[in-house]
Chain A
Amino acid sequence: MKKTLSLLLAAALLFTLTAAVVQAEDAISIGVVYKQSGNPFFEAGVKGFEEAKGELGFTFEHNGPADSSNEGQIQIIEGYIQKGVDAIAISANDAAGVVSVLQSAKEKGIKVVSWDSKVNAEGRDLNIDPSVAQNIGRVQIEEIAKQIGGEGQIAILSAGATMDNQNTWISYMKEELKKPEYAKIELVTTVYGDDLTDKSYQEMQGLINSYPDLKGVISPTTVGIAAAATCIKDNGLTGKIKLTGLGLPSEMADYIKDGTCEAMFLWNPIDLGYTAAYASVALVKGTITGAAGESFEAGRLGKKEIMDAGDGGTFTLVGDPFRFTAENIDDWKDVY
């Protein structure tokens, strides 16, 4: 009786979950790994893979850890290696932390493309950069300077103090601020909301309370900018404290329309996923090896050049960040 019971339970547990993933034998298979499961930015990235799949006819799976951890990503990658995928496309939580496991993947002939957030050179074949980091830093400074009229205090609300891409952008922002035309702008502080909405909100409230003369805030993270917008609006400071940064149109639509955030930027995650898919297939087919100087066709986005990234590896660019304003936000808010 008990044996039957436990047999039944275990079987029910396993079978009631949906049907198995069936893999086509000859098609190229790509394993997509992103930073966090359920993050809308990556959901949009997956749309790019879907689109490329329709054009190229590969199969792919996608997954990210529930807690945006490095260890979770390693588990997923190990699963892909075990399944025998042909390529892995990853947006890494820790550029150094997945190098070992990706090296073991490469030893088995699997091609590795990093997209959105890079993997260190030893662990990848090619990096798909959304945009030149310097440009990302520059446009946000230009925007905030324009909005606050070229003078006053500004602050940065970042994600985590340990995030490589955030820190790179912020260092370029500081570089940009040294230019004479920004002499009257004072960057008072950088705070970290850890990409958690409630913590970002608290940090923003702290900024508002501590710096009564604050004119503008840059938040180069989608979670941070949304929390900052909510906080500014809740304090009735819409228009008094300007806001820009990197945000998701679907999340920010209302704040852009009511003027809390006049303009913000983001590259197109769909294009990012789309390019990563084309690059993975080109690497697997052997049309490129990922060396600088090569180029590949990326469907509707045209020819992509591969360049030396300066960190020992190579990269290619998707495009410049797109500027979202009240005029164009309605076209994008239902896309991603």
Chain B
Amino acid sequence: MTGAQKPTGRIPGFLRRREWLLAVLIVIVYFVFNSQLPESYTVVNLLNQSRVYMVDVGFMAVGMLMVLILGDIDISVASIAALASTVMAVTYNAGQGLPFLVSVGLMLLVGLVCGLINGLLVTRFHELFPMIITLATQTLYRGIAYIILKDQSAGSFPSWFSKDLGYGSVRILGVEVPLMLICILAVFPLYYLWIHRTAPGRRMFAAGTNITASRYSGVRTDRLKMTAFVFNGVMAAVAGIFLCSRTGSVKYTIAAGFEMQAIAVAILGGASTSGGRGSVVGLLLALVLMTALKNGLMLLYNDAFILNLSIGLMLILIVLVPNLWNMYRSMRTLRRQRLAISKS
């Protein structure tokens, strides 16, 4: 799948790369749903719906990807988003408190601190699986949001925030493109350069593949891990910003369950929970695929459980099928070699 092996046989080699597989799937999904729902399932509508499916989970997945590349996992991101949103809404206090942008700054700071705590715990207690640490901090962060906000909901954000950013769009080439979508798309080229084109980015892949070897070759792996968790925390807070602009109000339950969606998207995009793998382009394509699939299913079946069921299937199949195919291929090669040996 990484394209390391030379393609053999009649299979187009490019399909062995996750990115191309995703691209093909996107096209298939689009045409299947478009034929069923020619009026409502259009590119224009999909662009509009990307606000719902792509942006907040997308930012979380951007942060998650880096953590996954290092072979860690963070299931506290949704709680970080909730705590950061809570702090923002409470300090802004419907215009009575701090200036709005200062509150947003505080929000990012909260994300940073939460990420820092996760990172510290993970690097100080190597024996503990990050999943367990972030499981505890997940409850803790959301618990703090609960203490701050109690049973209230906070909101009444400035209208440019909840109207223009939340629901506004820009006309590009005659098509309405949501402002939010442009924001997240702008992140991807920079992220691509960081992850795939700089030395620290490459070190992350190396550390994720073999942490001990990296450490012995002088890479400060703990520092890399800290970077990843802090970045992840900040991205979770950014996700919170966009989520708030869409919902217009904050309760302590905001974004519950988003962490699993973020992990699922990152894995779909080619990352692996065992580290060392992941691709920014794959992540973007996985987000698009998820949007296309979820929106189509929502329109067609309008059933939350069916939606989840197909995401689950997709998640397993996209990893399982290439694995089985590789196994089949290696078995076939082995048999051929044996055959050749016996013939000679």
Contacts and interface: CB of A to CB of B under 8 A. Distances in A.
> CB–CB under 8 A between A and B in the complex?
yes
Interface of A: 1-3, 5-7, 9-11, 13-15, 17-18, 20-21, 37-38, 61-67, 69-72, 74-76, 78-79, 82-84, 94-101, 104, 160-163, 167
A65 B45 CA distance: 22
Nearest to A15: B32
Interface residues of B, number: 64
A82 B45 contact: yes
B302 interface: yes
13 contacts: A3-B24, A10-B29, A11-B28, A13-B317, A14-B32, A69-B253, A70-B247, A74-B247, A96-B155, A100-B166, A161-B150, A162-B150, A162-B153
Contacts of A167: 151
Interface of B: 9-12, 15-16, 21, 24-25, 28-29, 32-33, 36-37, 40, 45, 48-49, 51-53, 150-153, 155, 162-163, 166-167, 243, 246-249, 251-258, 294-306, 308, 310, 313-314, 317, 321, 325
Contact of A18 (B15, B301, B313): B301
Contacts of B15: 2-3, 6
A78 B49 contact: yes
Contacts of B313: 13
B28 A7 contact: yes
Interface of B is mostly: helix
Given A17-B306, A97-B153, A161-B150, 17 more contacts: A1-B10, A2-B11, A9-B321, A13-B310, A13-B317, A20-B36, A37-B303, A63-B303, A66-B308, A70-B251, A75-B52, A78-B49, A78-B51, A82-B295, A84-B40, A97-B251, A162-B152
- The 3 A-B pairs of least Cβ separation, nearest first, read A100-B248, A96-B249, A66-B304
B32 A100 contact: no
Contacts of B167: 100, 104
Contacts of B296: 14
A104 B246 CA distance: 11
A6 B25 contact: yes
A5 B313 CA distance: 15
Contacts of B299: 79, 82-83
